[in-house]
Each structure stands twice: as C-alpha cells, then as structure tokens.
Amino acid sequence: MANKGGRKPDVASIAGVLLAFGGVIGGLLLEGGRISDIAQYTAAIIVLGGTLGATMLNAPMPTFIGAIRRLANVFFERTQSPNLVVEQIVEFATKARKAGIVSLEAEAGAVNDPFLHKALTLAIDGTDLQDLRRMMELEIQQQEHHADLEAKVFEQAGGYAPTVGIIGAVMGLIQVMKNLANIEQVGHGIAVAFVATVYGVGLANLFFLPAAGKIKARAAAEIQMKELMLEGVSAIVEGLNPKLIRIKLEAYTNIHSGGNKEEK
C-alpha cells in the first residue's frame, strides 16, 4: 500500500556540514593556527544567544517551534517513492474502472499517507470533483505556506548572526581599550574579539542559510508528491483509462528523478 514512507539520513546534508566546518578549521590549522584560537565560549554565547533571541522576537512562537522541528528535514529525507505511488494509484484506477470507485473503500482504509487517504475517502464518498480538488489544493497551499514561513526563520537567523557577531567583536574591543598600556594584551584581545565575527558569519553562511534552502527544497518535493496524488485521485474520479493515468503521472516521477522540469 502507498504509505508515508520512512526516513533515511541525507548524506549530502551531513557531508556538507562536515566539509564546510572541516574546511574552515582545516584551513586555520594549515595556516599555523590552533583550534583554541577560535574556541571562545563567550563569543559563542553572544552570537548564539543574540541570534536566537532576535529570531524568537521576530517569529511567532508556533512558527519558531515548527522551524526547529523542521530541522529533521535538513538531515533526513523521506524514502517514499513516487513510482510506487503511481503504481498504487494505477491499481486503484484499474479496480475502480471494473467495480466502481466505491470498491476502493478497503484499499483507502489501508493507505497510511494522510493526504492520499483523505483524497480517496472524499472520492469514495461521492464528493464533487471540483469540491474535492478545492479542499485538497487548500491543504497543499497551507502546507506550502507553513514551510515557507519556517524556512524564513533560518533565513532571518542567517541575517542576524553576522550583525550579532559584529556586536560581540565591538564588545571585545571595548575590553581591549581598557588595557592599552599592555601591548601584548591588546594584540591578544583584538584577536579574541574578532572570533565573535567569525562565529556570526560562519553560522549564517555555513548553516542557517543553507538549512533554509534545504527546507524549501524538501517542502517543494513534498508538495509535488501531494500534487501527484491529487491528480491521480482526480483521474480515478473522472474514470480515465489506467494507462492514460500512468502516462499523466509519469511527469511527476521524472521531476523526482531529476528531470529537466524546474521545481516551482
């Protein structure tokens, strides 16, 4: 039966984070630096605390919490196959064409994907096709809207982090100015002060902004999967030939398999 699909680690995301931060740290070590040069917990507190606070102030709490939960979409991807969904819908269409759409009641009850289950149930209950499409398209639009808002939380964090890093650097320089009489402490203090800027710029460009992009990409793939399901159920209601339904839905499988059609 078509189901929600499991989740598996996203190798690209995990490798990307390791490569990004590993490249920065590796470059530091190759230049003769030490990890202790950038391991400043005070700078981390300033940047992380300031960025988190500013982001929470900007975003409604439900949206902020939803964005944190959606982090799972960055490092894990769904294993649901569009090809399997197409095969399942074609099977539904074949049975509905022979015995009527009401005969799919048992199959609909065994479908684990909430969206497909709801669409099939509405179709079996005799819902007008236009009403069915309107309700399911509204659900798709709402999901797309929520995903966009939650991705923007990370985009906003990516905008705040560098500025908070500059604030941390200025705060460090203020402390340096108190010790101008000791030139050695001044040099060390300036180096430490700029660590906050490194943290802010690094987090923004190596994590927050890329995470926002991955969340949008994941949401787009989920939307396309739901559009596939909706088009399939609509075709069943219209009584189309199963072979025509397969041909119609193959466009969505090409998108998921890396076809030339651009994502919306």
Q: Read off the pLDDT of residues 78-136 as tens digits, 9 standing for 90 and up.
A: 877 888 999 999 999 999 999 999 999 998 888 989 999 999 999 999 999 999 999 99
- Alpha-carbon separation of residue 4 from 21, 81, 109, 239 (angstroms): 33, 10, 14, 26
Residue ranges covered by each domain of the chain: 40-256
pLDDT of residue 34: 86
Q: Which of 128, 110, 129, 97 minimizes the C-alpha distance to 230?
A: 129
Residue 165 CA to residue 193 CA, distance in Å, equals 10
Residue 51 contacts residue 160 (beta carbons within 8 Å) = yes
The residue type at 183: I
Residue with tokens 């999967």: 225
Residue 124 contacts residue 111 (beta carbons within 8 Å) = no
Beta bridge partners of 8: 77
Beta bridge partners of 9: 76
For the ranges 67-81, 85-99, 189-203, 248-262, the lowest mean pLDDT is seen at 248-262
pLDDT of residue 139: 95
Residue 54 CA to residue 206 CA, distance in Å, equals 19
* Count of helix runs (H) and strand runs (E) in the chain: 12, 2
